[in-house]
Structure 1
Amino acid sequence: MSRIPHPEVDVPRQLPPWGLTRGGENSRLRSTAALLTSLTALAATSLVAGPAIAEPTGGPCALRRTTAHHSEGLDTWNTAYPRPIENLNAVMVFLSFPDSPPLSTPGELAADYFPATSQFFERASYGKFRLTPHPQPEWVQMPHGSLSYAIQRDWNAKRRAAYLRDAMAAADPKVDFSRYDVVYFVADPDAPGVDSDATKVVNFDRPMRADGTDIRRIVTVFERHPPDRNVLAHETGHVFDLPDLYHRPTDGKGDWDTYVGDWDVMGSQFGLAPDLFGWHKWKLGWLDRRQVRCLGAGTERLTLDPLAAPQAPGGLGGTRLAVARTGRGTALVMEARGSLGNDHATCTEGVLLYEVRNEAASGGGPVEVVDAHPDSGACWGESVYPQLADAPVRAGESFTVPGEDVRVEVAGRTASGAWTVQVTTG
């Protein structure tokens, strides 16, 4: 099983137009000019946030959104992305190939991802968001064999564009894309040309048009059956404007998990504690600004509720996040992590510290966990990066953040399981 994460990718600009059919009637649904641009995309490291921003969503200590791709600034919401509040509908289109009759049914493949992915987001959002899947019941056959598309991780741009063009043309007569907020194209995992490392989110600089609606991004899934754990939660996170948190070695060798280890699914879908960082929950609207404590200079005592603990129905609960600004575009964040919810498999508990940078793009280290135990590790043989598995400050410990005038002391836990913390800054 591969432990290499999946990035977002680009698509070339030169594409021929195509005609689509719906309900047995042939019709050209798009003009040639639109077709030449609709499948254009930018690389994950260069796609800008765009001018479309909605109402302020931040609060105390909220970093400013920048033009970095998937910027961790959260003072505004980019309306180019669907915001995961209440309910979003996701369509799963299953693609087969003429060179390989499928060995599985669409229903069997849908069960690989749902309800697990919906449950992940329901837990992470405290029940504030539901991702409703709509798996299509039949295979949609591609016009060419799977080997002809040369599917692979670092995919030839023209071949990738041809795949997307053919997939949309084949699916459109059977799927009303105007009904859905999220689109998954799932390839037959047993086809000989399908490479599981090619699973990606494709972002378009100009949206595709189908059924009168804009499609700004598509999740292309090439996973094995059964797939990598939490892979669809990771990819869907990109659809909600969350960045890749892993480190991609420049020479293709080395460890991918040095930035955040197990501590967020956007770093690794295999993490022992893959719940989203509290910063991401704040960004997505699942934490209210009243649950975020902005720390000033001096000493402050606070109680942190475990990040993954359910919230009382109709109530906000206590503080889940403490933030100390360390610069114009940086912040030091504190949250309590324990063996609850999506983090049930973690082998360490305590107050986790990490630095957030609003200028760092997806894949460029926008978040880095601060290791409170740099000379040791934990969860060997299970953790994706044992050196960070014991990163949290545990009860009875104190820790001074290197390079910052911030000291954290964890006194213990309350009867309800909350963590009592004293923070000295400045």
Structure 2
Amino acid sequence: MHQHVQRRPRRTVRRTALRTVATGLAVGLLGTTATALPATARPPSVTAPASAADCRLPAAVDGLGSGFPVDEQGLPAVGTLKAAQLFVDFEDHPAPAGSLDEAEANLASGVEYLEQVSGGRLDVETTASDGWVRMPEPSTAYPFERGLTYEDHVRYIGDAIAAADATFDFSDVDVVWVSATKQAQNITYSPTTNYLDVTADGNHLTHAVTFGYDQWRWGGLVLAHETGHSLGLPDLYLFEAPPEDPGNWHAAVGGWDLMGLISGQGPEYLGWHRWQLGWLDDEQVVCAEPGRTTTARLSPVAESGEPRPGRDTMLVHPVSATRAVVVENRQPLGYDQGIAARGALVYTVDASVPSGHGPVRVVDSTPGSSDGLDDAPFAPGTSWTEPTTGAELTFREGPAGTVAVALNP
């Protein structure tokens, strides 16, 4: 049955980006220290890098991928994202009195994540339902298990919107977030749709995320992960584990990006993703020119929202029309405070590979170690040779937490 609630003013919550994220996690150091590069301009023998535009891999898949531009289904990632946050319960699982504050607080850190990682370029304006919204059917009427159909998902979202519509104004909403009461454990997980087709208050709503019981395990990071899909980012975990490593759905990137392992120790968005979303400027990207030596002094990716003159965020080495090697600097800062190893994170991006099939793959500096990809970054004084082009990347320690990278063709 429907719950009848008196009309009340909308509660609008605006949060500005946090500048620091404090944790008490210990951080392991990887490798030894090598002689730092001098803090000067690139040597005269080094040719200036190509334009960053030359390294923008063009999108080569239908749907979510790692090319430019992001798929047209993605919402704008710069500016204000207006989210309707509906908290729903059911006749078979009513929300306990006083539980709304806990439900709202559980996801709030996801908004903080998006605003901080975007460097303040994305402002998330959340308008929450003023009370629990009773769904028209019991929770068991919505088959939330792996394999939930699009039709069932859209019906669930549509029922939530219809139940809230009498007391909620949807006329200026970009994305709908539907969060189920903790009591409804059979609403198990948190899928996203970018193809909602519901009209409310004259607004054609196209994007929605539903938060199930797993939100109580992941907290706000599940909101940031799923909103990443709303903005056009792919899944970096594997839909099918590799035959040689059955059960390892995180063999591609491990915990080095929130779009992979949500509980990973390095959940900062990759620099490549920030670039895709417009959170990283072309001036922060060093694009290697074919056949020429290229160097870069990389600031930690967690500090990319505050670019500094003379420092870069990524070095990109295209190896084909759809594939590139990327180097970025990961240090125990921001949301990376829990990483086990610091240094130069090297990964490949393939714009022809779709979501869930490994569009990004981290290069492991210590293959076969018991830590998997957790110790993947390259330490100062080490090097790596790209197998298809023979280009050699060497890594040295730079000043003030930077990593100096040289690419020799």
Q: CA shift at 1:78, angstroms? A: 4.5
- Alignment pair present for 1:424 and 2:384: no
**Structure 2 SS opposite 1:111:** helix
- Alignment pair present for 1:203 and 2:194: yes
Which residue pairs with 1:308 in the alignment?
Answer: 302
Q: CA shift at 1:154, angstroms? A: 1.9
Distance verdict in 2 for CA 1:311–1:240, change over 3 Å? closer
Q: Report the Cα distance in structure 1 between the residues aligned to 2:268 and 2:334, rounded to whole angstroms.
A: 8
Which residue pairs with 1:89 in the alignment?
Answer: 82
**Structure 2 SS opposite 1:364:** coil
| Paired AA for residue 233 in structure 2 | L
Distance verdict in 2 for CA 1:317–1:420, change over 3 Å? closer
Residue 259 of structure 1 is aligned with which of 252, 258, 261? 252
Aligned pair count? Answer: 357
Distance verdict in 2 for CA 1:67–1:312, change over 3 Å? closer
- Alignment pair present for 1:110 and 2:104: yes
Q: Report the Cα distance in structure 1 between the residues aligned to 2:373 and 2:92, rounded to whole angstroms.
A: 45
Q: Report the Cα distance in structure 2 between the residues aligned to 1:336 and 1:251, rounded to whole angstroms.
A: 28
**Structure 2 SS opposite 1:219:** strand
Q: 1:106-130 CA distances to partner (integer Å, 9 max, x unpaired)?
A: 222010011x112212221222222
Q: Is the 8 A contact 1:68 1:360 kept in 2?
A: no
Distance verdict in 2 for CA 1:316–1:112, change over 3 Å? farther
| Structure 2: runs of 5+ lacking an equivalent | 8-51
Q: Which moved more, 1:213-222 or 1:152-161?
A: 152-161
- Alignment pair present for 1:121 and 2:105: no
**Structure 2 SS opposite 1:119:** helix
**Structure 2 SS opposite 1:389:** coil
Q: 1:55-109 CA distances to partner (integer Å, 9 max, x unpaired)?
A: xxx72310112343212111x3555422221322212101110112212522220
Distance verdict in 2 for CA 1:224–1:375, change over 3 Å? closer
Q: Report the Cα distance in structure 2 between the residues aligned to 1:282 and 1:306, rounded to whole angstroms.
A: 15
Q: 1:357-398 CA distances to partner (integer Å, 9 max, x unpaired)?
A: 111111111111111221324xxxxxxxx3111111111111
Q: Report the Cα distance in structure 1 between the residues aligned to 2:73 and 2:65, rounded to whole angstroms.
A: 13
Q: 1:205-245 CA distances to partner (integer Å, 9 max, x unpaired)?
A: x7322222221121011135733141111111001000000
Q: Report the Cα distance in structure 1 between the residues aligned to 2:405 and 2:238, rounded to whole angstroms.
A: 30
Q: Is the 8 A contact 2:394 2:407 kept in 1?
A: yes
Q: Report the Cα distance in structure 2 between the residues aligned to 1:316 and 1:173, rounded to whole angstroms.
A: 52
Residue 288 of structure 1 is aligned with which of 273, 281, 284? 281
CA RMSD of aligned residues (A): 2.5
Q: CA shift at 1:203, angstroms? A: 2.8
Q: Report the Cα distance in structure 2 between the residues aligned to 1:64 and 1:359, rounded to whole angstroms.
A: 9
Which residue pairs with 1:49 in the alignment?
Answer: none
**Structure 2 SS opposite 1:376:** coil
Distance verdict in 2 for CA 1:80–1:194, change over 3 Å? closer
- Alignment pair present for 1:337 and 2:327: no
The TM-score normalised by the length of structure 1 is 0.78
**Structure 1 SS opposite 2:217:** coil
Distance verdict in 2 for CA 1:310–1:65, change over 3 Å? closer
Q: Report the Cα distance in structure 2 between the residues aligned to 1:353 and 1:391, rounded to whole angstroms.
A: 8
Q: Report the Cα distance in structure 2 between the residues aligned to 1:290 and 1:251, rounded to whole angstroms.
A: 37
Q: How does 1:207-356 map to 2 (within 5 A)?
A: 207-224=197-214, 226-229=216-219, 230-249=221-240, 254-296=247-289, 297-309=291-303, 311-312=305-306, 318-356=311-349
More strand by share: 1
> Post-superposition, which runs of at least 4 consecutive aligned residues in structure 1 deviate over 6 A?
21-24
Q: Is the 8 A contact 2:175 2:208 kept in 1?
A: yes
Q: CA shift at 1:409, angstroms? A: 0.9
| Structure 1: runs of 5+ lacking an equivalent | 1-20, 25-57, 378-385
Residue 146 of structure 1 is aligned with which of 136, 139, 142? 139
Q: CA shift at 1:181, angstroms? A: 1.9
Q: Report the Cα distance in structure 2 between the residues aligned to 1:216 and 1:369, rounded to whole angstroms.
A: 33
**Structure 2 SS opposite 1:322:** strand
Distance verdict in 2 for CA 1:408–1:85, change over 3 Å? same
Q: Report the Cα distance in structure 2 between the residues aligned to 1:101 and 1:406, rounded to whole angstroms.
A: 61
Distance verdict in 2 for CA 1:401–1:67, change over 3 Å? closer
Q: Report the Cα distance in structure 2 between the residues aligned to 1:136 and 1:288, rounded to whole angstroms.
A: 36
| Paired AA for residue 402 in structure 2 | A
Q: Report the Cα distance in structure 2 between the residues aligned to 1:78 and 1:303, rounded to whole angstroms.
A: 31
Q: Is the 8 A contact 1:183 1:218 kept in 2?
A: yes
Which residue pairs with 1:41 in the alignment?
Answer: none
Residue 59 of structure 1 is aligned with which of 53, 72, 82? 53
Q: Report the Cα distance in structure 2 between the residues aligned to 1:329 and 1:202, rounded to whole angstroms.
A: 27
Q: CA shift at 1:316, angstroms? A: 6.6
Q: Is the 8 A contact 2:64 2:355 kept in 1?
A: yes
The TM-score normalised by the length of structure 2 is 0.81
Q: Is the 8 A contact 1:278 1:307 kept in 2?
A: yes
| Paired AA for residue 217 in structure 1 | H
Point out which structure has higher relative CO (alpha carbons under 8 A, 6+ apart): 2
Which residue pairs with 1:31 in the alignment?
Answer: none
Q: How does 1:169-184 map to 2 (within 5 A)?
A: 169-184=162-177
Q: CA shift at 1:418, angstroms? A: 1.2
